[in-house]
Amino acid sequence: MPCYEVNTASVDLNAADHQLLGKALETEGYATTYQEEEKRLSFSKGKVSGYHQDNKLHMEAPAGTAIDTAAIKRGFSRQVIEQKQKQFEAKGWKTTREGDKYVFTKPQQQASVGFQR
């Protein structure tokens, strides 16, 4: 019987922006550090630690400690939605929320009316 067991989890996060992922992790209570040279985002919370590099999220924790990858993915999704919301609203779009869905509505183009004499 091993003396020390470790739970591990790996999640594909393709095209994940380290800045948005860092915000999501911090929102979930993780401490984060970004290593520029390695293009690697490291994080930890209690007994859970991990890193994001090469589009993969790697996490580990001692046996019996839960690793909640779903909460991190939900947090990352919220950060992406908030970023897109700011971009669309800067272009005049309207954002509403219908239940769990965000709806982005493009403004109707004003028809120009000309008069001749």
Domain 6-105 of CATH type 3.30.310: yes
Q: Say whether pLDDT at 114 is over 90.
A: no
Q: What is the pLDDT of residues 48-82, one digit of tens each?
A: 999 999 888 899 999 888 888 899 989 998 899 89
pLDDT at 1: 46
Instruction: Say what the pLDDT of residue 15 is.
Output: 65
Closest CA to 77 of 59, 100, 48: 100
* pTM listed for this prediction: 0.75
